[in-house]
Amino acid sequence: MGRPRRTAIFFVPYTVIGGSHHSLLGFIEGLGPGWRPIVVYTEHTPAFNELYGGRGVECVQLDTPGILHADKLWSPFSLVRDVIRTIWGLRSLVKKEKAALIYGESFNGRLLAGLAVTGLPTVAMGYIRKCRDLGLVDRLAYALSDAYVVISDTVLGAAVPWATRQPQKLFKIYNGVWLDRFQPGPGDAELKKRLGIEGHPTIGYFGRFAPFKCADVLLESLALLKKRGHTDVRLLLVGTPQERVYPGFAAEMDAIIEREGLHGAVVRTGYVTDVRPYIRAVDIVAVPSDLEPFGRAVIEAMALERPVVGGNNGGIAEIATDGEDALLVEPRNAEALADALERLLTDPVLAHRLAEAGRRTVERRFDMRRNQRTLRALVKHLIRRKAGGFSAF
């Protein structure tokens, strides 16, 4: 008989699909066949369940919506009740499964996961993907955790500058992309025809419609391109509004489209489970964020050999180098963004050179296999270290 599989529990309160979920799936897959992963979530979202269930990951729901939507609660008592239920539910699951690892996604995920395994021989790991210092909340979560992983120097500097006082708990591991899954190739002609972009130079945007991702600035740049005579250019928006999180932002985008007469130039797909055919269908990928913690859309576009125009700060500036493997511009500057897009639209040699260099950058620095090896080594180290101070369950 082989060795029994270890159990890893991933507590993921926020189920709105974004790059973090694809990174987390890479982590889960990277643990290997010796592990049994269980994802615990608190809100049913069809896309979330389809994403994880489609990869064969076991999912368990804790019906505790208050930890997500405190604004909808009838009283503070409800919040306290749901927090206690979450901690108790996680702790019960950890003890039942004798879990070796618990992972907390988001700030409340990190805190509640750490509280749930206090006094147990289970490694508590937190992952930080946002450029925000949550102060005492994250300091407490950090104290309860065995390790905090940050995805970039940008996140380290903005979210946990205080954690460097305990560097033995802090690890920087960049996100990765599956190079075999993200192979360069031509766009699918049928998809282009269905989208209405066949024969049109097309710029692609891939991500949530969030203010910091600056899709509104991209629309302003498209309007400038149109005024400069590029009336055949199309903009493919792959993503969905998040009205609950960013109220009114989708309406602002609609207002720009209406004001600038961009209806015929903007194509929307909504959420898609697989972005690869859509990235291959465009000529340029725009990631104009004003402060991107990392920039998964950047490395995916680079892997598929599509030239990237991005905001010159945050994680994007850690991934790409202006003029070498991408064009980087001042964030929230529609004129500068339009200039960079126009350069690529009118200079196919430059676009091709940047696209090829981008693929080489991903192969050298953001290969998911390397990312997974690092995470596996870290988890193995943490379990050994934790086991030395605890008896078994």
CATH of domain 189-365: 3.40.50.2000
The residues that bridge with 311 in the sheet, in sequence order, are 329
Q: Give counts: helices (H), strands (E), the chain.
A: 15, 13
Domain segments of the chain as ranges: 6-176+367-387, 189-365
HEC profile of 245-308: CCCCHHHHHHHHHHHHCCCCCEEECCCCCCCHHHHHCCCEEEECCCCCCCCHHHHHHHHCCCCE
- What is the C-alpha separation between 284 and 337, in angstroms, rounded? 12
- SS3 category, 326: strand
Question: Closest Cα partner for 204 from 233, 173, 240, 236?
Answer: 236
Phi-psi region of 378 (alpha: psi -120 to 50; beta: other; left: phi over 0): alpha
Beta strands (DSSP E) in the chain are 6-11, 35-41, 58-61, 101-105, 123-128, 147-150, 170-172, 202-206, 234-238, 266-268, 284-287, 308-311, 327-329
**Mind listing the pLDDT tens digit of every residue in the chain (393 residues)?**
456 789 999 999 888 777 788 888 888 988 988 999 999 998 888 888 888 988 889 999 998 877 776 555 456 777 888 899 999 999 999 999 999 999 998 888 999 999 999 999 999 999 888 888 888 888 899 999 999 999 999 998 888 888 765 567 889 999 999 999 999 999 999 999 999 999 999 999 999 899 999 999 999 999 999 999 999 999 999 998 888 778 999 999 999 999 999 999 999 999 898 999 999 999 999 999 999 999 999 999 999 999 999 999 999 999 999 999 999 999 999 999 999 999 999 999 999 999 999 999 999 999 999 989 999 999 999 999 887 655 455
What are the E-state strand segments in 194-233? 202-206
Find out whether 138 and 107 touch, Cβ atoms under 8 Å: yes
Residue 132 is given by DSSP the state: -
Q: Can 6-176+367-387 and 189-365 be said to share one CATH topology? A: yes
CA distance 359 to 365: 10
Which residues in 315-341 are b (16+ Cβ under 10 Å) and which e? bbbbbbeeeebbbbbebbbbebbbbbb
The arrangement of strands across the sheet holding 147-150 comes to 58-61, 35-41, 6-11, 101-105, 123-128, 147-150, 170-172
Q: Give the class (CATH, top level) of 6-176+367-387.
A: alpha beta
User: What is the structure's pLDDT at 55?
Assistant: 87
Q: Which amino acid is at 186?
A: P
Q: CB 279: neighbour CB atoms within 10 A?
A: 23
Which residues in 88-108 are b (16+ Cβ under 10 Å) and which e?
ebbbebbeebebbbbbbbbbb
Give Cα 115 to chain centroid, integer Å: 25
Distance CA 216, CA 214 (A): 5
pLDDT at residue 153 in the model: 92
